[in-house]
A and B are shown apart, each in its own frame.
Chain A
Amino acid sequence: MSEKKEYKVIGTRPIRHDGVDKVTGRAIYGADFQITGLLHGRVLRSPHAHARIVSIDTSRAEAHPGVKGVVTAEDLPAAEDKMADLGEGAVSLKYLCDNILASDKALYKGHAIAAVAATSPHIAEEACELIDVEYEVLPPVLEVRQAMESDAPILHENLRTSSLGETGDKPSNIASHFQHKKGDIDKGFDEADVIIEREFVTGTVHQGYIEPHNATALYNPDGQLTVWCSTQGAFTVREQLAEILQYPISKIKVVPLEIGGGFGGKINVYVKPVAALLAKKTGKPVKVLMNRADVFEGTGPTPASYITIKMGATNDGKITAAQTSLVFEAGAYPGSPVGAGAMCVFAPYNIENVVIDGYDVVVNKPKTAPYRAPGATNAAFGTETVVDELAEKLNIDPLEIRLMNGAKEGDRRADGPVYPRIGFIETLEAAKEHPHYASPNGKKYHGRGIASGFWFNIGLESSVTINVNPDGTVNLVEGSTDIGGTRASIAMQAAEVLGIPAESVNPTVVDTNSIGYTAVTGGSRTTYATGYAAYEAAQDVVQQMKARAAKLWDVDEDNVQFADGEFSSINGKEEQISFRDLSARLGETGGPVIGRATMNPAGAGGAFATHVVDVEVDVDTGKVEILRYTATQDAGKAIHPSYVEGQIQGGVVQGIGWALNEEYIYNDEGEMTNASFLDYRMPTCLDLPMIDAVIVEVPNPGHPYGVRGVGEVPIVPPPAAIANAIYDAVGIRMTELPMSPDRLLKAMGKI
C-alpha cells in the first residue's frame, strides 16, 4: 500500500445514503415502530438506592382496567449461578437477569422491579403505581473509597474479590483487582529528578444519547420471538435475550431500527427482555419506552473514578517511571471499564518502568456501561495533567515533552502489546504546526492547555454480502448499526474496489436472520472491520465477474484484469467491458453474482489524538468559556472526511461536557437529584465555538485502505486539556471532574 495512493471514491464527501430519510423525518427509529394490536409497557423502578425486596403484590395493577399483563423477576427463568456466554467473555447470568428485573435486592434508585403492559402508555403508568412493593431499606454506598472500607454496606453477599485466580475469603465490594507491570518501578523513580504524584476524582457521567431506550417484542404462537429496537448491535441483543430468557437463538429475530445515539450505552439490554416477557404474557406485541429519568437512573452511566498518578522524569525531560492506581465504580454489578482504562492510561508514552493497578468496585448506582473510549478519559485526565505539571517543573514546552516521550512503532505498552505503525508523533507535530498553537495567548484569565489521548480500537466479526444489479449498481447488505454515517463509509470502500460511484452502492442494515454474525457498532470498529468486509466482498464480486468476462470472451480467467471499473483481456484478444455493462450480462453468463465476506480482522491499529484548547475563566462566577479548540487525530485514512471530522467534533464536545458540567449529583439517600436534561447539563451550541478537526493520516497497516477507527479517542483528551488551560489561566490545578463553577470557585478560594 502506497501512502500517496490516489482514490476515486475514498476521501470524497458524498451525501450519505440514509440522509434524505433522516432530514425528512421518515427514518424509522425504535420508538417510531408501529404494529397492529400494540400494547404499551412501562417499568416500575425502585425508589431506594439499596433495599431488600420483601414482597411484590401486583394484584391491584392487574385488576386495573386496560392492563393486560404484569411481570416481575419471577417471570424470568431461574438464573442460579450459571455463567452467561455473551461471546466476549462470560458474565454471571444472575447479575445479568437481576439488572433487568430485580429479584432479591434493589441495588440503585431506578432499578427495574416490575413492568406492566396496557392498552395505553398512560394506563401502564397508572398501573405501575398500583404495584405494592415492600422494601427493607438498607444504607447505600455511593463512592468507591467508601465502598472499599471493611465496614461498608455490602451489595452482594456472595461477591468475593477476584485477583487473577485468587479469590477473597469474605464478602467485598471490590469485584476484582489486577496489575500490569513493566521494568523496575523503584529504579525508574530513582533515576527521576522530578517526581509528581497527584490524586484525581472524576464524576459519574452519562452517554446522553437523545433517544431513550426502546423495544417492541412479539411472540408468535409458534414460539418465534421478534424484537424491533434500536441497538448498537442486533446480534449482541440476540445473545443477551437468549441468555436472559434462556431461549434458543434460532427462535429469536432482532430487527435493528434507526438508532438515536449510543456511544456505548446501547449495547447492554434493559427494556428488550422486559418487552419480550410482557409479549409472552399477553400474546400481543408490546412496546416499552423509557422516559428520560429512566434513562439517567436505570441505564449505564460511565464510572466515577478515584485515580492516583505518580510520574517521574529526568531534568532533560525523559519520563523514567509511571505508576497508577485506577479505582473505578462498576455500579451495582461488577464490570467497569477499568481494564480498558489500564490499557490506555500511559499508552501515549514509551516509559520503561510502569506499574498499573486496577480495581473494579461495586456501588449503589446503575451498572455502568461503556461510553466512548470507556475508561480512557478518566485515566487520561490524570496522566495528561501530571505530564503537564512535569513539563512546567522542567520548563519544557508541553508539546515538546510529549514529542520526547511519545510512543512509536515497536514500543511496548505496559500491558504488553507492541505497537505497529502508529501516528501519535504526527498528531503532536500537526498540533505544533497549527496556527492555533502559534497564536497569542497571555490575556488575563485566558489560558491554553494541551493533552493527548489513546484508544486501542477493536476488530471483531463483520459480515457483508453484495448483490450485483443489472444496471451496474450493487446492493450491499450488512449488520452494523449505522449511528453516524457508516452506511456511507462502508459503501464507499466497496465502491472504490468496484470502480463505481458511492451512489451506485445501496447499503442496507438488516436483521439477525438476514446477514452473518456482526459484532456491535462500538470500539471504533465499524468503518474499519465492516468496511474491510465490504472491501473483501467487493473483491469477491470482482473475482466472480472476471470469470463471467472470461466466459464472454472465451479466454482464460487468468487473462482478465480489472482496473478503474473496466474488465479487460490481457494476452491475445483485445476485449474490454465496463463493470456496468457486464452487470447487464450476468444472466447469460451463469446467473446472479453475490459477493460475500466475513471478517475478524486483527489489525485495528491504535488511535491517537492531541488537543489544544484556549479558555477564559470568569473568576467571579467560576464559569469556564471555551474560546478556541483544535483537535488533531490520526485517522489512518479518512474514508468520508466530513464524518471523520464529525466524530472528532462530537467527541470533543462530549469531553467538554464531562470536563465542565456533567455529573450525577446524589443526595445522602443515594437518589440522583438531577435526572433531567435541564439539570444534567450537556453542552448546547451556545456554549461552544467551532471545533477545528485536523485529520492526520498515518495509514494503518492492518487495513487495505489504511483505516483506523476514529469514533472514540476524541473524547479522551478534553478534560485534561481544559484542566491544563485553566491552570494556565488562573494558576489552579483542578484534580476533580467536572470543573464546574462551584468547584472552581472553591479551588480559587472564593467560596
Chain B
Amino acid sequence: MPVVAIPALIRNLTDGEESVTVDGATIREVINNLDIRYPGTKAKLCEGDRIRPGIGVYIDGVLTKVGMHERVEEDTELHFLPAISGGIAESS
C-alpha cells in the first residue's frame, strides 16, 4: 500500500505518526482514506477537491505537477510538502 509522509505541522492529527500506510489507487483515494483514519487531514491538504495552492505533491521523492486523479503504485511514497509558491513553483 502507498506510504504517506505526514507533514510536520499536521502530525497532531495523526497521533504524531510521521508516515502511515494508506490504501488507494489514486492520490484522491489515498487522501480520502487518510482522512477516514485521521479526520481533518484532508482539509489541511486539500481545498475542495484540489490540492491546496502552495502544496507540492512528491511521488517517490520527485515533485510532480499532478492532480488528484494521478495513479499511485502499491509501493509509492507520497510527500505533501508545504512548498511556497514562488519557490519551487517558480524555481529559476
Interface residues of A (CB under 8 A from B): 83, 86-91, 162-166, 175-176, 178-182, 207, 232, 262-265, 267-268, 330, 334-341, 343, 355, 358, 360, 368-375, 415-420, 456, 458-461, 522-523, 600, 602-604, 712
Contact = CB atoms under 8 A, between A and B. Distances in A.
Interface of B: 5, 7-11, 18, 43-45, 52-56, 58-65, 77, 79, 81-92
Contact of B79 (A165, A176, A417): A417
A176 B9 CA distance: 12
A358 B10 contact: no
A339 B81 contact: yes
B86 to A, nearest CB: 3
A358 B84 contact: yes
Contacts of A459: 62-63
Q: Which 10 A-B pairs have the closest CB atoms?
A: A264-B92, A335-B86, A417-B61, A370-B92, A165-B44, A339-B87, A178-B82, A181-B8, A339-B83, A90-B53
Contacts of B79: 415-417
Given A180-B7, A336-B86, A373-B92, 9 more contacts: A89-B83, A89-B89, A179-B8, A181-B11, A267-B90, A334-B86, A374-B92, A459-B62, A602-B59
Nearest to A373: B92
Contacts of A180: 7-8, 81
Contacts of A712: 92
Contact of B84 (A338, A417, A420): A338
Contact of A330 (B8, B11, B86, B89): B86
A268 B87 contact: no
Nearest to A376: B91
Given A164-B9, A164-B10, A340 B45 contact: no
Given A371-B92, A416-B79, A337 B65 contact: no
| Chain B residues touching A, majority SS | loop
A231 B54 CA distance: 24
Report whether over half of chain A's contact residues are helix, strand or loop; otherwise say mixed.
Answer: loop
Contact of A89 (B11, B53, B58, B61): B53
Most chain A beta carbons < 10 A, residue from B54, B83, B84: B84
Most buried by B among A335, A339, A523: A339
Contacts of A90: 53-54, 85
A523 B65 contact: no
Given A83-B53, A165-B10, A522-B91, A416 B83 contact: no
**From B8, B86, B87, residue with most partner A Cβ within 10 Å:** B86
A375 B87 contact: yes
Nearest to A181: B8
Contacts of B88: 88, 337, 339-340, 343, 458
Contacts of A207: 92
Contact of A374 (B9, B65, B81, B87): B87
A88 B89 contact: yes
Contacts of A88: 65, 85, 88-90
Nearest to A375: B87
Given A360-B84, A417-B79, A602-B59, A176 B92 contact: no
B5 A416 contact: yes
A650 to B, nearest CB: 13
- The interface centre, meaning the residue of A89, A90, A330 with most chain B CB atoms within 10 A of its CB, is A89
Given A163-B9, A335-B86, A602 B91 contact: no
Contact of B58 (A330, A373, A416): A416
B15 to A, nearest CB: 15
A416 B90 contact: no
A369 B8 contact: no
14 contacts: A83-B53, A89-B89, A90-B53, A91-B86, A164-B55, A178-B7, A264-B91, A355-B8, A375-B87, A415-B81, A417-B61, A419-B61, A458-B88, A602-B59
A368 B52 contact: no
Contacts of A355: 8
B54 A162 contact: yes
A339 B82 contact: yes
A89 B56 contact: yes
Nearest to A457: B91
B40 to A, nearest CB: 9
A458 B91 CA distance: 8
Nearest to B91: A523
B62 A417 contact: yes
Nearest to A519: B65
A101 B61 CA distance: 39
A522 B86 contact: no
Contacts of B62: 417, 459, 602-604
B49 to A, nearest CB: 14
B89 A368 contact: no
A416 B61 contact: yes
Given A164-B10, A415-B81, A460-B65, A340 B87 contact: yes
B31 to A, nearest CB: 13
A184 to B, nearest CB: 11
A528 to B, nearest CB: 13
Contacts of A375: 87
A90 to B, nearest CB: 4
A40 B77 CA distance: 53
Most A CB within 10 A of own CB, among B43, B56, B61, B90: B90
Given A89-B54, A337-B91, A164 B84 contact: no
A417 B53 contact: no
Contacts of A336: 84, 86-87
A165 B92 contact: no
Contacts of B7: 164, 178-180
A337 B86 contact: yes
B57 to A, nearest CB: 10
Contacts of A335: 84-87, 90
A696 to B, nearest CB: 22
B55 to A, nearest CB: 8
